[in-house]
Each structure stands twice: as structure tokens, then as C-alpha cells.
Copies of this chain bind each other. A is one copy, B any other.
Amino acid sequence: MLRLSKLTDYAVVVLIRLSEGGGECARLGGEPVQTSPGIALATGVPEPTVAKVLKALTSANLVASQRGARGGYRLVQALEQITIADVITAIDGPIALTACVDGAPGACDVQNMCAVKGRWDLVNDAIRQALTSITLAEMRVASVPMAFRLPAPDHLAPPDRLAQGGVPLAASAAE
């Protein structure tokens, strides 16, 4: 699968949402912050999950948090400065395809004559480089080719119309 976690997907959504300047809570010396309930409402991701993602992103210093009333989160870098590798590392931990490379305790169980030991590093480096070369800004411009772009991010988009007719994608071909 080579599948990355759904949380990482959410993190991208949340970060892009954060970049769209939360127009609601422009306080705190000009630094506009957004609350996790607000982001959850705007993105459709459940609030606890948004909170969890934001905590991880804060630990990774991708976003900054302001505690207390009128608090919230804000980006510390522009989307152009955030790479996919950053997000994946923040959410899923270090990028390592196999247990052999990311410091597994018992190493592989067939380490005796494992003829390919350490060779995955080559692949890991390639992956890592590929992920480092893509920024969130690039991902955003590549998305939403249709007219569904919300120009004003401060008025939370009503999900009704979008959910009905919007974005059929691959959901129809589901067995």
C-alpha cells in the first residue's frame, strides 16, 4: 500500500485552512488565530481529530498556539515553506519504509543472512527527497480545478450544496 495515515491527510487540510487567514479571531497583536472547533467546522473534520492533528503540528513547530480565551492556532511558516515531508514527519513520525532503517529494537527477524540489509536506505532517501520537494502551496494550487473555490474563507461554507452536487470523483465506482 505504501499508504500514509489519514491523519496526515487531515493535517494538510488543516494547514491549508490555517493559511487562508481565519478572519474571525483577528486578535493578539495582529496575529490572527483560528480555534480548533472553527477549523473543524470549516473543514468537516471532527473536532477531536482536528485538535489531535493540531497538537502534533504544534509539537513539530509547524503551527504556533495561543492558549487561553481568544486563543487558537496560526501558521509559523508560509505554505511555500512547508513540505509534505514536514507534515508526514510531524504526524506519522520519521519517514522510514521498513523496520530495518528506523531503528527497530529487534531489527528484522531474519537479520542472520539478510542479503539486503541497509539497501532500503537508497529507497528511503529517494522517497524523502521526493516528499521534500513538494510544498503545501504546490498541493493547493494543484487542487480544486472546478469552480468550488471559496473566495472568502471567513464565512464558513455551508456544506449543504457542496455535499450534494459537488465533486463526484471516484466515489461512484465503488464496487
Contact = CB atoms under 8 A, between A and B. Distances in A.
B44 A113 contact: yes
A114 interface: yes
Chain A contact-residue range equals 35 or more
Contact of A170 (B104, B115, B167, B175): B104
B101 A122 contact: no
A98 B4 contact: yes
* Copy total for this chain: 2
A17 interface: yes
Contact of A131 (B44, B112, B127, B166): B127
B44 A114 contact: yes
Contacts of A118: 142-145, 167, 169
Contacts of A129: 130
A142 B170 contact: no
A3 B98 contact: yes
Interface stretch (A6-14, A29-37, A61-69): A6-14
Given A101-B170, A167-B118, A139 B112 contact: no
